[in-house]
Structure 1
């Protein structure tokens, strides 16, 4: 194998890694965005892992989420007809309102927020809006409806649960 050769793991390997609390990178086609996103189960994200994600991803932290969960959290789509060519469905940003979250910007604060988004015991009143985490709406039908990191992430994570 040359140093320039890229090897991709199987979806099954990615699911197994996520089950073990690890993060994986989901990449798309070079004709699309030609990039990779770190993904892992939201309830498993630690402050250290969040620090890594922030440091090595550019700092914008998104949390792909189902439509049902976004409704429970009272997080509407940010704009109905955005100008994003990829059709990413950004919702209103949020921070968890408890758990020692202060400004919302630190790795610790963002990991606590993402853990809480995944926890069904929390509802809209447990979150401040706007915040520092960008929940994203995953389209029903997954990658068969939209070939995006959001749908791929939720599709893989559904296999985890």
Structure 2
């Protein structure tokens, strides 16, 4: 069943659809909407802001973040327990205030497609990048790593946009409320533990990751 959930999520991510990634199915700490960054249109960003209601973040590989020369935001904090947030960014050209869905979509596109020589980004801005640890969920079982792992497994640009799911009272969606939300929007869901098991069984990168760590 967990393998089926991951296969469905990979297929949906490859085809530009949104999936829900859950930290722990038994004791839900966080659930996130996830879409491949290359599919993060203004309509998707608006949907995330309207229905997800959490912080919209751009998840990048360490290699991409380094190529863009993005500085770490929480440089005084270390360890795997905290998200590796980078300085917020904005597209240098083609945006207004930067906060609109269209502006954020343009910034995301600049972040995943531009070259360092393009000098396409400025800081601060309204898009919040976060770096996935090398090794993905096998090293850090979190939504950032799961989102990048899914994009990589789907064969698309290895970057993703995530948004935390917040209910009407301002709390993380859990349990039956989360199930109803997924059904209402027709979103497939999977847990991070599902993805860990899947990668251990099927991902050719897994063996190299374990040896490297």
TM-score by length of 1: 0.85
Change (3 A) 1:40 1:141: same
Tell me the distance in 1 between the aligned counterparts of 2:112 and 2:140.
22
Q: Where does residue 94 of structure 1 map in the other structure?
A: 89
Tell me the distance in 2 between the aligned counterparts of 1:30 and 1:10.
13
Tell me the distance in 1 between the aligned counterparts of 2:54 and 2:22.
18
Tell me the distance in 1 between the aligned counterparts of 2:54 and 2:115.
25
Within the alignment, does 1:42 sit opposite 2:37 as a pair?
yes
Q: Where does residue 11 of structure 1 map in the other structure?
A: 6
Other structure's SS at 1:110 match: helix
Bigger share in helix: 2
Please tell me whether Structure 1 or Structure 2 has the larger radius of gyration of its CA atoms: 2
Deviation at 1:8, TM superposition (A): 10
Deviation at 1:43, TM superposition (A): 1.1
Deviation at 1:30, TM superposition (A): 5.9
Q: Which runs of 5+ in 1 are unaligned?
A: 1-6
Tell me the distance in 1 between the aligned counterparts of 2:55 and 2:79.
16
Q: Where does residue 21 of structure 2 map in the other structure?
A: 26
Q: Where does residue 145 of structure 1 map in the other structure?
A: 139
Higher mean C-alpha deviation, range 74-83 or range 110-119? 74-83
- Number of aligned residue pairs: give it: 153
Within the alignment, does 1:122 sit opposite 2:119 as a pair?
no
Q: Where does residue 132 of structure 1 map in the other structure?
A: 126
Q: Which runs of 5+ in 2 are unaligned?
A: 156-213
Within the alignment, does 1:73 sit opposite 2:63 as a pair?
no
Deviation at 1:35, TM superposition (A): 1.7
Q: Where does residue 154 of structure 2 map in the other structure?
A: 160
CA contact (8 A) 2:58 2:108 kept: yes
Other structure's SS at 1:75 match: coil
Deviation at 1:58, TM superposition (A): 2.3
Other structure's SS at 2:125 match: strand
Tell me the distance in 2 between the aligned counterparts of 1:52 and 1:92.
24
Bigger share in strand: 2
